[in-house]
A and B are shown apart, each in its own frame.
Chain A
Amino acid sequence: MESSLTLHNLILALFVVLVLVLLLTAGLLAISYYKFKKISTRQRWLQIIDEKITQTIVDGYQPVTKGEDLAALLKNKAFRLLLLESLVASTRKFSGSAAEELIRLYIALNLKKDALEKLNKGNKIYQISEGIQELTAMKTLEVLPEIPDYLSNPNEQIYQEAQYALVRLKGFEGLSFLHDLSNTLSDWQQMRILDAIRDIPDTKRYLIADWLKSTNNSVIIFTLRLIRTKQLLGFYNNVAALITHPNQKVRIQTVKTLQALENEKTLDLLINIFEKDEVSVQKEILKALKISKNKNSETFLKLQLLHNQSSQLKMIAAEALSQLDESHFLHSLKNDADPTVSLIVKHILQEKI
């Protein structure tokens, strides 16, 4: 009796769950249809938006007239957000007057209000970060005082957008967050920030030396990249001091940067440090010598090709020698007793078999 009751209850439970599943399925199908419709509408809106953006870029900003489709659609919140999204994407593709015209359109349509709403009223991480991105792209300077607050936000996405926004809107000065940065700057973020820096004011250059002494390795690496990119030759000695930095990644970037700022001391510095460092740094040193094409490195390179234990390093040494126009020497090694050397040399000479 008890057992059949249990089975009966089980069947009942199964039917209840089944009905729920079927209802959910029906619900999902309805949502799918609704979303499909929304996507179709979005496609239509995008056409209208593209037309307006193209018109603005080509003809300059023109106010929206009452008769335009756009005028009616602007009352629609979703449309305004899509328009804002499209404008931000377009400003990345265009610069100069075209970008300026797009910003005029942004101001005229009061899309700033929508972006600010995201920033101030958004309760989701993505809304805040999107708000920062949009206001930054549209150069909304009035938002600047609020941005530093987001630097200490625990969410990676938000504080990264804040870092980028500061640099985009304030230039080199925006990098002040580097002083007390405790998080790691990813390579991606470094590239974004480097890309956003246009000029380095002379009065602020002293900051660079401080960053090179940072306890945050990613700040040092970023600074080395900045020095390299902007060819800040004045910091050569500061950079050279980092050649013995305990962090391997820092040392690799140091070698790259020294090569970029190369002077008469660089070759000796690199050769002297070579034996003391590990293979990954040695590899970078040989690559630096390959790029510098310094004739004085010839003996050192030959030594590495013939006697270094690492085939990888032999290979780069051979490549460097090839850059030094040492093909005669290399040809002479084609039949070297050491098959590795022989193979490497043939490889470098791109010898046809």
Chain B
Amino acid sequence: MIEFASVLYEIVIWLFLIYSIAIVCIYSWIAVYAYGALNQYHHKNLFTDYNLIVTNPNVPKYSLVAPAYNEGLTIVENVRSLLSLYYNNLEIIIVNDGSKDNSIPLLIKAYQLEPTAFFVEGKIKTKAIKGVYRSKNPAFKKLIVVDKENGGKADALNVGINISTGDYLVCIDVDCILEQDAILKLAKPFLEQTDKRIIACGGVIRLANNCEVKDGKVTDVRLPDSWLGRCQALEYIRAFVLGRMAWSRASGLILISGAFGAFDKEIVLACGGYDSATVGEDMELVVRMRRYMEEQNLPYEVVNIPDPLCWTEVPESKEILRKQRNRWMRGTIETLWKHRKMMFNPQYGKLGMVSLPYWFFFEFLGPVIEFIGYFIFIAFLFLGIINWQFFFALFALVISSGILYSIFAILVDLMSHKVYTKKADLSKLITAAIIEPFYFHPIVVRASVNGLNHYFRNQHGWGEMTRQGFSKKNKDMPLMQRILNELSDTVKEFTRPALIFLLVTVITSLIEYKWYTYKLIDLVDPNIGVNLLANNFDFALQTLTISLIIYQIVKLVFPRRAWLVLVSLLGVLLFFHYPLFLYFAESRNLLGSDAFIYSYTETIQILKTSGMLNMTNIAFCIILIAFLAFSFILFNKTATKKPVSGIVIYCCGLFAFIWEPNQMFTHNSEAAKNAASSKVSYFINSNIKHRLEVNENILPKWLIQQISEEIDEDYPFLKPENTPDFLGKYFQQSPVTPNLVIIILEGIGHAYSSDRGYIGNFTPFLDSLAKKSLYWENSLSSSGRTFAAIPTITGSLPFGHSGFLEINPQPNNFNLFNILQKNNFETGFYYGGNAGFDNMESFLNTNKGIKIVDQNSFSALYTKLPGSDGESWGYEDQALYKKLLESNDLSKQPYFKLVLTLSTHNPFSINNYDFYEERYEAHLKKLNLTPEKIKWAIQSKKALVSIISSDHALEQFMEEYSTRSDFGNTVFVITADHASPEIPFQEKINRYHVPLLIYSPLLKTPQAFNNYVSHFDIAPSILAFYRENYQINVPQTVTWIGEGLAATSLGGYPMMQSKTQLIDYIYRDYHLVDNALFKINAKLNEEVISDEVMKKHVEKHFRIFKEKNRIFYNKKELLPDSVFKAFFD
């Protein structure tokens, strides 16, 4: 069996693969495109004479703004370095952002500064300026030092912008060392602009760690000493030399490093300067500038030049590095969130359609997906479903692709910039490229995820939870306003969990459909997938509508707990989706209220034998719960700003109650229709219906349909026994009363036990026996499950509410056991499984003296069916027949033995599988089936192999039996309890279409019959046979539902699909299913018809049966005690 977790594994692996392929494509593009950009730049600037602008009066003025916070140790040197920059028309503004050290006194002393009055032209709102200093020394006339209250880097930069008088701004970190020609090189793109305005320009930043610095200039370039530093050197090469160059060439650059970048001041002012509310002010400003240009419809460009212009210290301690990357991640999220309006918005051109989506999917989601990947890996490891060969291949590929990209970056850098040209540097960088994925990268990923975590904890930009019931703010308002406010708050709080619920529903639907495509090949139809999604979505919307009301009510009573109630409710619904669709995939049955009919032990047995209750699936459940909890917790305490989206969801929910998504596509088969249905919806509706039926008295009278017919209000099924002897004429008279053996085969449908079946004949022995027997081609079981087989076959008994066996205590009834026992038959029940299952044992025990042989009676000499984790339904058919033959005391005759087989029960695991598989293959060839039938046969191979095995066991049993003395005087009735739902049905009626034959050496001649018969007809005919031919004593009044194998039943046959689904009824050649009427032909094929008159007629008969059944069930008495006792006494 393909485990569900394995399919999930495959889905996850494909998602990761697709994501990885996307990354590889993006990075390949970056590599190629950046290489081209670098070449272009190199050749274009080969002979550029920057002296042209050093002293040219026509060049624009640049204002260099450097914020400083506690930089006292290096600030004097750094400013000296800035003062030596080659560019004449330049002002240098140092903004001391409320440093707690002695930065200002040091600067005053070093540059002979004095505080002067200063008129600040700019209007960007900032923290207060404490003082502006200028130098008395004309040598430092370019220098302005501003002392201000602490307000963060962005605030300090804004002060610098306000004070600046230049046309362009160069914003740097004061601890950076600039190349002396840095401004010249930055100025060139601005001077070269023609049709497109250059709004920002960045340059390459290199690492100053370990470099030799003299007089504010880098004189000897060295790689950092630590591997952490070297990895960052490599990372900077990749980012600046490749990434930014490619994006710059593609006009998609949205990040100019805060450490060094130049901006068009006019645009910066038009945008309002830096945003001091974000930690990623550098990226945010560029995005905002681009947004401004897009909205103004002005042509523009943001460029990056590949010249190494700036040197900066990077953290060489993991702690500081983590803090830095944490901040970068938060900055990224803040920017993406703030400008989410542009995402995938074609109005914003490349910015909205390419750059922002790239940042979202790869820069923001990249570390998150990688981090989730680690957890999923651990989960899969725990589940034991990792294909190691695949894993190592993929892992090696991902790592080596990363290394390849790094080495490419090193090569390009080597060719273009000659920064790290020493042989040792090259080998160190290559080593860094190899160790980086294992050492540096995980640190960065973890720090980024922490950044995400911190972001959400601080609730930046995601709105605040306004859960407060009739809060203080509402108290003074008019009642109507208060109510409206309260409702608005509820809707706003409700929106996010609702969206998550809808999203997870969609994901779950996709997983569900994917699972069906694995398990149920006949249901691989995109229409089913679409309908399934529509049905689940429809149900989700309906659920949300009701949940909102529940949430509001709970909130009024328990304001603090309401949230928990809401997410628990939604979480539980999402969770139960999985077991319900898995159950459907395993059994092809929709699970409804029957889930609660089985006892706890029975449920556990079903789960264990089906193989679903294993560690893998339990672990999967835990992971699923954790995922759902995480999804909701992530958005805890958050509300949307406006109730609009919540109202839209609610309106859609209301509409969902009217909409019938099932009508989108019509499905030919019941299985397809069921597969496309919402399993949770069915489960809930079924249970509600069941509860209402059970507690019918709680419903108003007018809701219960009244029956006009005369029905005996005491014993509706009681009738005189007058079944004609149909069988007698086919038998020779035996001198002694013949023995009776009834064999009920588990799950053998007509479809695969007859040449006329839509799959083909996979029971060659049964078929050969049928030809020597009385054989009914059109025989119907009374249920779609085993629970009704024994009461129906042995007693033609009604169902009660959930099957006769479920009625406790068992009402007195006549059946083959007690009637034949009364006539001195030795009776016995033979079953390889647990007789207690489905309350069979209770039923049998009400008939004293039945020898019950079940799994507890088998010794170690018998072979059990193989099972999952050692759990199986019980003993194989071979063992069961052997047990029957061995335990049968020939001195005690006549006898009646009822045999119920097991080998063909789901999960169809049998012993000697290979042997029977060969027989299956050989038989398949021999059958010479049509391609259509071969498809069906291959699809249900495992089940059919078990059927071949069961048929072989029956053959061996009959052979063995034929050697015994009692064989010649024994009547064998062989039928099946129902068709296996795991083997696909063509039509609804196929579920009940089973073989029925009566074989005996006493038979005069074999005979096949075409009339419709039911299991309900077996007991009446058998007893009529014994009554007329062997003068056994039978009751005068009985409660048979059936009227014997000869008759065309006038009363109709009810059929129960499951313990809670009584929706099928056969009346003459009509089949009523729920609200649809089918016409049955001579081959028991059916098609839907629209004959309203007949439909009403059949419905009436069905209603009469149900009414009788109801009366019986309410009274729990089938016949008067006096009648029962009179017969036995």
Q: Which residues of A pack against B, CB within 8 Å?
A: 3, 7, 10-11, 14-15, 17-18, 21-22, 24-25, 28-29, 31-32, 35-36, 39, 85, 88-89, 92, 125-126, 129-130, 133, 137, 157, 183-192, 195, 218, 225, 311-312, 315, 340, 343-344, 346-347, 349-353
Contact = CB atoms under 8 A, between A and B. Distances in A.
Interface stretch (B109-117, B590-598, B1121-1129): B109-117
Given A88-B47, A311-B121, A347-B119, A191 B58 contact: yes
B188 A32 contact: no
A191 B56 contact: yes
B666 interface: no
Most buried by A among B53, B116, B134, B397: B397
Interface in B121-179: 121, 131, 134
B942 to A, nearest CB: 13
B1045 interface: no
A311 B119 contact: yes
Given A11-B390, A315-B119, A351-B116, A35 B404 contact: no
A10 B404 contact: no
Given A10-B390, A347-B116, A35 B56 contact: no
A344 B117 CA distance: 8
28 contacts: A14-B390, A21-B401, A21-B404, A22-B400, A28-B407, A29-B407, A32-B411, A32-B430, A35-B414, A85-B46, A89-B47, A133-B46, A133-B47, A137-B47, A157-B44, A183-B194, A185-B194, A186-B194, A191-B191, A218-B194, A311-B119, A343-B117, A343-B119, A344-B119, A347-B116, A347-B119, A349-B117, A350-B116
A15 B393 contact: yes
B396 interface: yes
A186 B47 contact: no
A25 B410 contact: no
A129 B43 contact: yes
A28 B408 contact: yes
A346 B76 CA distance: 28
Contact of A28 (B53, B56, B115, B411): B411
Contacts of A315: 119, 121
A279 to B, nearest CB: 12
Nearest to A42: B418
B557 interface: no
Nearest to A314: B119
A187 B404 CA distance: 41
B24 to A, nearest CB: 9
Interface string B377-418: 000000000010110011011001101100110110011001
Interface in B291-337: none
Contacts of B134: 350
Nearest to B430: A29
B846 interface: no
Contacts of A191: 52-53, 56, 58-59, 191
B193 interface: yes
Nearest to A353: B115
Most buried by A among B117, B193, B387, B390: B117
B114 A11 contact: no
B407 A36 contact: no
Contacts of B43: 125-126, 129-130
Given A126-B46, A157-B44, 17 more contacts: A10-B390, A11-B393, A18-B400, A21-B400, A25-B404, A31-B411, A35-B414, A89-B47, A92-B49, A125-B43, A129-B44, A186-B191, A191-B56, A195-B52, A350-B116, A350-B117, A353-B115
A353 B119 contact: no
Contact of A188 (B115, B116, B188, B518): B188
Contacts of A344: 119
Contacts, number: 132
Contacts of B58: 187, 190-191, 225
Nearest to B118: A347
Given A14-B397, A28-B411, A315-B121, A187 B47 contact: no
A39 B403 contact: no
B625 to A, nearest CB: 28
A190 B403 CA distance: 46
A349 B119 CA distance: 11
Contact of B117 (A35, A311, A353): A353
A111 to B, nearest CB: 15
A289 B388 CA distance: 81
Contacts of B131: 353
B121 A25 contact: no
Interface in B43-70: 43-44, 46-47, 49, 52-53, 56, 58-59
A187 B192 contact: yes
Contacts of A347: 116-119
Q: Which 7 A-B pairs have the closest CB atoms?
A: A126-B43, A346-B117, A14-B393, A347-B119, A184-B194, A188-B191, A187-B191
A157 B194 CA distance: 13
A11 B394 CA distance: 8
A125 B46 CA distance: 13
A101 to B, nearest CB: 20
Contacts of B421: 36, 39
Given A187-B191, A353-B115, A21 B47 contact: no
Given A184-B194, A186-B194, A25 B394 contact: no
B793 to A, nearest CB: 40
Given A187-B58, A195-B52, A315-B119, A35 B390 contact: no
B305 to A, nearest CB: 14
B214 interface: no
B959 interface: no
Contacts of A189: 192
B403 to A, nearest CB: 6
B400 A7 contact: no
Contacts of B195: 184
Nearest to A25: B404
Interface in B394-450: 394, 396-397, 400-401, 403-404, 407-408, 410-411, 414-415, 418, 421, 423, 426, 430
B741 to A, nearest CB: 41
B193 A186 contact: yes
Nearest to B2: A3
Contacts of A10: 390
A335 B414 CA distance: 62
Nearest to A136: B47
A60 to B, nearest CB: 25
Contacts of A129: 43-44
Contact of A92 (B47, B59, B114, B387): B47
A190 B52 CA distance: 11
Contacts of B46: 85, 126, 130, 133
A29 to B, nearest CB: 6
Nearest to B42: A126
A63 to B, nearest CB: 27
Given A28-B408, A35-B415, A187-B191, A18 B116 contact: no
A346 B115 CA distance: 12
A97 to B, nearest CB: 21
Contacts of A192: 49, 52
A216 B723 CA distance: 112
Contacts of A185: 194
A157 B46 CA distance: 12
Contacts of A32: 407, 410-411, 414, 426, 430
A183 B39 CA distance: 24
Nearest to B422: A36
Nearest to A34: B411
Nearest to B115: A353
A352 B115 CA distance: 6
Nearest to B397: A18
A22 B404 CA distance: 8
Interface in B182-218: 188, 191-195
Nearest to B389: A11
A159 B904 CA distance: 86
Nearest to A343: B119
